[in-house]
Amino acid sequence: MFSIEFKDKKSRARLGKMSLAHGVVETPVFMPVGTKAAVKTLSSEDLEGIGAQIILSNTYHLNHRPGLEVIEKHSGLHGFMRWKRPILTDSGGFQVFSLSKHAKISDEGVKFRYPQTGEESFFTPENVIDIQKKLGSDIVMVLDQPAPYPVERQEAIDSLERTTKWALISRKQSLEDGQKMFGIVQGATFKDLRKRSAEELIEMDFDGYAIGGLSVGEPRDVFFEVLDYSSEFLPVEKPRYLMGVGDPLGIVKAIAAGVDMFDSVLPTRIARNGSVFSSEGRLNMKNSKYKMDTGPLDSECKCHVCSDYSRAYLRHLYISGEILAHRLFSWHNLHYLTDLVNRAKFLLKRGKLIELEKELELIYG
């Protein structure tokens, strides 16, 4: 499933290939998030044009709306959203954290109450795998329980032990031919607990391993520290996935730490709030200083948004409430991150990844 094509001599970074049911993914790779079977404001054809190799969707949301019956009528999620490349589906574990006031957790699973409708559903380590089987995703994730930040050690132990118990149950579930299953490391910000979690999951021999429970409010320096040692605990020969990270510096530091995959709603979320990534840093396009600016969003970017439109026009769209602004900013941000990862690959192969890391620390640090 996974082969390492090149290793950096100055860091744990590597280039690899994942062979999945719907194609080969070259790593490192950023995965745009299509939570409800759509990356907000963009079509599947747009994502292909941007160069997305694999996208992420969410089991919790899709199970609720439109429901499995609708998706199965389209022969799975790929047919439903007309996406031909690989898909990873999250299990709903993050919703255990983000929607905690609507969830009741026990060793058997999680009872969710959908805030929009009041309907309830019960997610277990068995049925989240069954749902993802029916969705037809290339990579399925086990149900996990992330700990919040800050958290007492005993609570971190409890969430780790529950995650391990659920992972063992999930690992015994059958998959469709070609599907792969990833385990998720927890342990909050406790190094020994992260090591324990990784070791327990490695015993179950998953197809890949995710670093979960980060980007939950911890300080930046703590995030980077936990990322670095968590990656080190994972097997070299399996793909490593850092969940929920999509800022430029975070991605490049993750690559240097030996991570192969990352996802986040950040690039499309900030786009809808009028912000874009650029070689100058993050730009707030609501700012009046761009009102008369005839230059591109980013002079170093080759996406069609930067080639075709001025900052003044794009600001006008956003200030005027035009949905097109959300779409164009989202396109640019995803192109920027895709191009950034490609640039990291190029420099990695030449032993110069550290140069990109230093550059981004100056711009985004």
- In contact, 235 and 204? CB cutoff 8 Å: no
**Closest among 107, 336, 96 to 216, alpha carbons compared:** 96
- Active-site pick, 8, 144, 247, 263: 263
**Start-to-end Cα distance in the chain:** 35
Q: Which two tokens stand for residue 230?
A: 């968590």
Phi and psi (nearest 5°) for 95? -70, -25
Which residues touch 111 (CB under 8 Å, ≥6 apart)?
103, 104, 120, 121, 122, 123
Catalytic annotation on 247? no
Long-range contacts of 97-102 (CB under 8 A, 24+ apart): 97/145, 97/146, 97/148, 97/216, 100/148
Q: What is the DSSP string of 240-257?
A: EEETT--SHHHHHHHHHT
Query: Given 3-state DSSP classes, what are the helix, strand and coil percentages for the chain, each rounded to the nearest 5?
Result: 45, 20, 40
∠ CA 210-64-86 to the nearest 5 degrees? 45
Catalytic annotation on 221? no
Q: Which two tokens stand for residue 267?
A: 């690039």
List the 103-106 sheet strands across, edge first: 103-106, 109-113, 120-123
d(CA 172, CA 155): 26
- In contact, 246 and 30? CB cutoff 8 Å: yes
Write the single-letter amino acid at 259. Answer: V
- Active-site pick, 90, 207, 247, 260: 90
Q: What is the DSSP string of 95-164?
A: HHHHTGGGEEEETTEEEEE-TTT--EEEE-TTHHHHHHHHHT-SEEE-------SS--HHHHHHHHHHHH
Q: Which residues are catalytic?
A: 90, 263
